[in-house]
């Protein structure tokens, strides 16, 4: 995640599709972040090497981080994802869909009216995925 003082996430400023990732990497990074949040109160700056260690070799760590960030930005503290919470854990269907669902990168410093993906369509796909398994 190289960057400059003006734009710490140069890959983040374009309006291109976010690459698909492995659902296992997404879940692993989710679990790592939950562990950090549980052990430390307040805001934490996380070293990129922690993200890399949470993912499989060769993973697109930036894409995994971005997709995870989009999950965390959904309304409410997991509010819209609460139907897929099982014993405080998200169902596999959430990670499977979040790993591949079409998303675009948001531009840094540009106000957004909504998330850069179809939230309703995303929820429909999670429901469909869960019903298929």
- C-alpha 93/C-alpha 57 separation (Å) is 23
**Which uninterrupted H or E stretch holds 29?**
helix 23-39
For residue 66, give the H/E element and its range: helix 61-72
Q: Is the pLDDT of residue 86 over 50?
A: yes
In tens, the pLDDT along 11-53 reads 555 568 899 999 999 999 998 887 766 555 544 455 667 788 8
Cβ neighbors of 26 (< 8 A, separation 6 or more) are: 64, 67, 68, 95, 98, 99
Q: Which residue has the higher pLDDT, 93 or 111?
A: 93
Provide the token pair at 91: 């169902």
The predicted structure's pLDDT at residue 78: 60
> Which residue is listed with tokens 């400059």?
4
Higher model confidence: residue 56 or residue 16?
A: 56
Average pLDDT over residues 109-119: 82
Q: Which of 38-47, 61-70, 108-117 has the lowest mean pLDDT?
A: 38-47
Average pLDDT of span 96-107: 91
> What is the three-class DSSP state of 13?
coil
pLDDT confidence band for 55 (50 / 70 / 90): very high
Position 113 scores a pLDDT of: 78
Write down the pLDDT at residue 14.
59
Domain boundaries, the chain: 19-131
| Residues in a beta bridge with 89 | 86
């Amino acid at each position: 995640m190289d960057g400059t003082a003006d734009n710490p996430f140069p890959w983040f400023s374009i309006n291109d599709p976010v690459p698909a990732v492995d659902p296992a990497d997404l879940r692993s990074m989710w679990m790592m972040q939950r562990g950090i949040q549980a052990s430390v109160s307040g805001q934490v700056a996380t070293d990129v090497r922690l993200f890399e260690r949470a993912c499989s070799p060769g993973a697109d760590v930036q894409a995994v981080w971005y997709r995870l960030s989009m999950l965390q930005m959904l309304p409410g503290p997991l509010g819209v994802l609460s139907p897929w919470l099982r014993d405080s854990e998200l169902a596999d269907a959430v990670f499977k869909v979040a790993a591949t669902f079409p998303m675009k990168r948001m531009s840094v410093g540009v106000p957004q009216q909504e998330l850069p993906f179809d939230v309703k369509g995303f929820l429909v796909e999670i429901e469909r995925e869960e019903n298929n398994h």
